[in-house]
Homo-oligomer: A and B are copies of this chain.
Amino acid sequence: MLNQRAPLDRVFRALADPTRRVMVDRLSRGPASVSELAQPLAMSLPAVIQHLQVLEESGLVRSEKAGRVRTCHIEPAALRRAGQWIALRRASWERRLDRLGDYLEEDEPSNQRRRS
């Protein structure tokens, strides 16, 4: 069971590293083996596997072993939660702008509501 204690900590921390973002980007286009993930990266294989472990602990990636090959898949739910956290903060910020706009409109009817 995914650690529920600090999932967003782990997700954002996982994405804080450029190597892991490359891996997430690759897996968003389809599953890949560890060797395939490692191929474009200029680092040792154990280093890639360490990054993979961080991604699995964060819930962004899932993997299974078949024979000697471990295949990795994206787990979109964790990406969605991070995206939702950001979207909610942006919505909060924009709601505050709307309230400012409403306030200004009491005095300046020509003022238009702003959207970003």
Contact = CB atoms under 8 A, between A and B. Distances in A.
Interface of A: 6, 8-9, 12-13, 15-18, 21, 24-25, 28-30, 74, 76, 79-80, 82-83, 85-87, 89-90, 92-93, 96, 116
A76 B91 CA distance: 10
A20 to B, nearest CB: 9
A28 B83 contact: no
User: For the complex formed by this chain, how many copies does it contain in all?
Assistant: 2
A54 to B, nearest CB: 11
Contact of A89 (B6, B79, B93): B79
Contacts of A8: 15, 18, 21
Contacts of A74: 89, 93
